[in-house]
């Protein structure tokens, strides 16, 4: 395969690079409106669903114990003493981050994050009963965004994995299917059109509007005011998180043919 030592340009995602390098089997819808919605799902997964992962990994004691044991072993040849050091340093630092300066998973917002995760499971459960992927019969960028977080939530973290197994086995199956799509035949006709968005996908966007949209508004306000931390009310809870300056979002949208008129 060419470009074995592929390095990503600054402020450009892997998907954008691959879309430019290789023709065919695109993961970005041709319709700019659907491309924007697809990007929104991917961004929601990247910035909001990751909060669910962080919460379940470093919040419940069961999650902390599991992550402290398993994560360092992913290095395979790591010495036992380094595994112990991981438990006492890195794991403790991650737990402390739940104070709100990074992950926004304060103890008071734990129930909010958990409720958001269970709603997402329910939405995807119903959606995957009728659609193979988020935007129809072929995967899009949003699928890969969700898949990245859900591999951990439904396959690694015990608390969130148990919830998925009990409440949304379809999501577990979908994560398994997403692991290898190399033999999948695809065509542009497999994607949903803007005139045929099913209620199950609308439910996902309602959830994004309920949770992630207020997060984005609060983040923009914090950036514009020069604040290092954002704070906003969501479902009666106060959520705190570090303000995120993400300049790569604009060129990423442009690379996908999505104009500023759409996002404004």
pLDDT at 204 over 70: yes
pLDDT digits (tens, 9 = 90+) for 43-96: 999 999 999 999 999 888 898 888 888 888 888 788 888 888 887 777 777 777
3-state secondary structure the chain: CCCCCCCCCCCCCHHHHHHHHCCCCCCCCCCHHHHHHHHHHHHHHHHHHHHHHHHHHHCCHHHHHHHHHHHHHHHCCCCHHHHHHHHHCHHHHHHHHCCCCCCCCCHHHHHHHHHHHHHHHHHHHHHCCCCCECCECCCCHHHHHHHHHHHHHHHCCHHHHHHHHHHCHHHHHHHHHHCCCCCCCCCHHHECCCCCCCHHHHHHHHHHHHHHHHHHHHHHHHHHHCCCEEEEEECCEEEEEECCCCCCHHHHHHHCCCCHHHHC
Between 87 and 19, the more confident residue is 19
Higher per-residue confidence, 134 vs 91: 134
pLDDT of residue 95: 77
- State the pLDDT at residue 1: 44
pLDDT for residue 153 = 98
pLDDT surpasses 50 at 264? no
| For the chain, percent of residues with pLDDT exceeding 70 | 84
pLDDT value at position 16? 83
97 or 158, greater pLDDT: 158
pLDDT at 187 over 80: yes
CATH number of 45-183+198-263: 1.20.1050.10
- pLDDT higher than 50, residue 101: no
Average pLDDT for 174-180: 96
* Average pLDDT of the residues in 144-153: 97
Query: Domain coordinates of the chain in residue numbers?
Result: 45-183+198-263
pLDDT tens figures, 223-236 = 889 998 888 888 88
The answer on pLDDT for 133 being more than 90 is: yes
- Residue 4: its pLDDT value, please? 54
């Amino acid at each position: 395969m060419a470009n074995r030592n592929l390095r990503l340009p600054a402020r450009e995602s892997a998907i954008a690079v691959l879309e430019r390098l290789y023709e065919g089997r695109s993961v970005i819808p041709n319709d700019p409106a659907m491309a924007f919605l697809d990007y929104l799902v991917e961004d929601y997964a990247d910035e909001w669903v990751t909060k669910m992962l962080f919460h379940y990994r470093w919040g419940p004691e069961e999650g902390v114990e599991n992550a402290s044991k398993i994560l360092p072993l992913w290095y395979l040849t790591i010495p036992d003493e380094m595994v112990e050091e991981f438990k006492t340093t890195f794991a403790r630092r991650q737990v402390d981050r739940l104070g709100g300066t990074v992950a926004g998973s304060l103890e008071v917002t734990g129930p909010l994050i958990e409720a958001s995760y269970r709603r997402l499971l329910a939405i995807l459960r119903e959606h995957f009963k009728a659609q193979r992927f988020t935007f129809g019969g072929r995967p899009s960028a949003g699928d890969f965004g969700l898949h990245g977080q859900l591999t951990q939530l439904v396959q690694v973290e015990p608390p969130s994995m148990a919830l998925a197994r009990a409440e949304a086995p379809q999501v577990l199956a979908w994560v398994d299917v997403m692991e290898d799509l190399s033999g999948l035949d695809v065509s542009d006709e497999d994607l949903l059109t803007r005139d045929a968005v099913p209620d199950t996908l609308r439910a996902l966007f309602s959830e994004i509007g309920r949770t992630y949209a207020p997060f984005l508004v609060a983040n923009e306000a914090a950036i514009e005011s020069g604040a290092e931390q954002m704070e906003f009310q969501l479902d009666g809870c106060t959520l705190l998180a570090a303000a995120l300056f993400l300049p790569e979002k604009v060129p990423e949208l442009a690379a996908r043919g999505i104009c500023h008129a759409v996002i404004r």
